[in-house]
Amino acid sequence: MLASDEFAGRKPGTPGETATLDYLEKRMGEVGLVSGTNDPGSYWRMPVDLVSVTPLTGSLTLEQGRKRVTVPESDAAVFTPRRRALATSGPGTGVPVVFVGFGDGSVLGDRLAGAVVVMLADPGRDIARRDALFAQRATAVVTVLPDAAAVAAMRSRSQRESLMLASEEQDTLAAYVSNAALADMMRRAALGAVESRSQRTRLLPAGAESGGQHRSVC
């Protein structure tokens, strides 16, 4: 009966919900059930606070030294149930970055508290792993997806409106990045480190000496 078109999906806050509650209230009275509310003014009903969440916009910025790159929308997505969220991590920020691979961080103890955690996608286990990481008080969880198509699919699933109990509202931040985008940033970081070392190294002509050290250039 409740699956019929008459109840229009039963979504909270819609006429379908009103029709559903009226029907249930009527039927429970007809079969002789007794209310547990102890509220004569609302014999069958108790107030329940719900939160509706619809993702808007977000961006993922990767930074190495003074170089900052905002990952294109095609290769990254960021979601949070909060109205606004910002997570910063890495050297100089006081917020560690922890890589857990295909794991859920269960062997790391308190090391995940306050950290930004990076994990590799493992379809079928990702939701449980992400929940486990947040349960260990991770500030944010970044999931590395195989490619841009996987990012697009995740965005399509996550941009729908969702409802939750206000008492169960979570303060979490989840991000997704394609393997190619992350690999590109890591290559840039490695190149930047090499360039930085090169700038600190003074190359002298063959046969010259500096500070008791001899360097030759081939």
d(Cα 137, Cα 25) in Å, to the nearest integer? Answer: 41
Kindly report, residue by residue over 68-122, the tens digit of the pLDDT: 778 898 999 988 776 555 556 555 556 788 999 999 988 888 889 989 999 999 9
Measure CA of the first residue to CA of the last residue in the chain; give whole Å: 85
Cα–chain-centroid distance for residue 56? 14
Task: Work out the number of other CB atoms within 10 angstroms of the CB of residue 22.
Answer: 10
Q: Which residues pair with 209 in a beta bridge?
A: 214
Under a CB-based contact definition with an 8 Å cutoff, are residues 137 and 45 in contact? no
Q: Which domains, and CATH codes, for the chain? A: 5-47 (no CATH), 61-197 (3.50.30)
Going by pLDDT thresholds of 50, 70 and 90, the confidence category of residue 207 is very low
**Paired tokens of 149:** 């198509």
Under a CB-based contact definition with an 8 Å cutoff, are residues 39 and 46 in contact? yes
d(Cα 173, Cα 115) in Å, to the nearest integer? Answer: 12
Q: What stretches of 59-147 show up as alpha helix (H) in DSSP?
A: 126-135
Kindly report, residue by residue over 141-158, the tens digit of the pLDDT: 999 999 999 999 988 887
Residue type, 182: L
Kindly report, residue by residue over 157-202, the tens digit of the pLDDT: 877 777 777 776 667 888 999 999 988 877 766 655 555 555 554 4
